[in-house]
């Protein structure tokens, strides 16, 4: 399966992508994670990306598209993947299609996680991530065993710079502006399915599993 997960920040794309990749052996490609890693390492890409990410703005399309295409190109052609956080606009979607066409592969399904604003704000303001391994937690919904410490690697749990309230609002505004065209693009292509992003992780996984049964995938 070559899958795109669409949805505003806080819709649960990242959490669900991790579950799906574990369950089905697909590769999880998260542009947010790749960019944050570059920022932490202080690479040229990271320094450039940081300027935009701090404000909740989109990193320029050419930078992000190059990054994603590079990852996909290095996968075996039969390998399934889940794209999380990409594409974010129509230009990125077209870029992706061109790159996949060159590799002789196609997206099988696009899932839009439609999520209500109250759920988003509650999820994002409670979200904590491990500084060391990037694992996600939520103060109420997925608390770590020991406060402030990652269950997996013992790293420190922090609030993402862009999960602060003012930046959340900007990210949601930016997402809303870009998303309409993207949804109608995939609707036209006959690839779009909509599922409620308000569901908890387990229920959402069940709903998605039902959808996957309708599609033949690798």
Indicate if 160 belongs to the active site: yes
Residue 8 sits in the site that holds ligand AMP (CB under 6 A): no
Task: Give the three-class secondary structure for 138.
Answer: strand
Indicate if 171 belongs to the active site: yes
Catalytic residue among 55, 132, 160, 193: 160
CA dihedral defined by 22, 26, 32, 38, rounded to 10 degrees? Answer: 100
Q: Residues 155-194: x/- map of binding to ligand AMP (CB under 6 A)?
A: -------x--------x-----------------------
Residue 35 sits in the site that holds ligand AMP (CB under 6 A): yes
Indicate if 13 belongs to the active site: yes
Q: Tell me whether residue 37 or residue 146 sits nearer to ligand AMP (CB atom).
A: 37
Chain residue at closest Cβ approach to ligand AMP:
32
**How many C-alpha atoms does 194 have within 13 Å on its Cβ side?**
7
Least Å from the CB of residue 64 to ligand AMP: 4
Residue 197 sits in the site that holds ligand AMP (CB under 6 A): no
From candidates 11, 39, 59, 120, binder to ligand AMP by CB under 6 A = 59
Q: What is the CA radius of gyration of the chain?
A: 17
- Residue partners of 3: CB distance under 8 A and separation at least 6: 20, 26, 80, 81, 82, 83, 107, 108, 109, 110, 111
Indicate if 123 belongs to the active site: no
What are the start-end ranges of the E strands in the chain? 2-6, 27-30, 81-84, 109-114, 127-130, 136-138, 157-158, 192-196
Q: Which of residues 76-95 bind ligand AMP (CB under 6 A)?
A: 85-86, 88, 92
Residue 165 has which token pair?
A: 């309230």
Q: Which residues bind ligand AMP (CB under 6 A)?
A: 9, 31-32, 35, 52-53, 56-59, 64, 85-86, 88, 92, 162, 171
Residues forming the active site: 13, 88, 127, 160, 171
């Amino acid at each position: 399966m070559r899958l795109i997960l669409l949805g505003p920040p806080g819709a649960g794309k990242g959490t669900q992508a991790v579950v799906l990749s574990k369950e089905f052996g697909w590769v999880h490609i998260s542009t947010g994670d790749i960019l944050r890693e570059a920022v932490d390492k202080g690479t040229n890409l990271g320094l450039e990306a940081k300027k935009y990410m701090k404000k909740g703005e989109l990193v320029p399309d050419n930078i992000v598209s190059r990054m994603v295409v590079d990852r996909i190109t290095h996968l075996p052609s039969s390998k399934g993947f889940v794209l999380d956080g990409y594409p974010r606009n129509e230009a990125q979607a077209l870029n992706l299609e061109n790159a996949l066409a060159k590799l002789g592969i196609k997206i099988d399904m696009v899932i839009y996680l439609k999520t209500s604003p109250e759920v988003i704000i509650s999820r994002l303001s409670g979200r904590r991530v491990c500084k060391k391994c990037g694992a996600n937690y939520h103060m109420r919904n997925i608390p770590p065993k020991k406060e402030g410490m990652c269950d997996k690697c013992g790293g420190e749990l922090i609030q993402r710079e862009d999960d602060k309230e003012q930046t959340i609002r900007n990210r949601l505004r930016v997402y809303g502006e870009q998303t309409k065209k993207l949804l109608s693009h995939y609707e036209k292509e006959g690839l779009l399915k909509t599922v409620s992003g308000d569901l908890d992780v387990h229920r959402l996984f069940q709903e998605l599993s039902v959808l996957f049964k309708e599609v033949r995938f690798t």
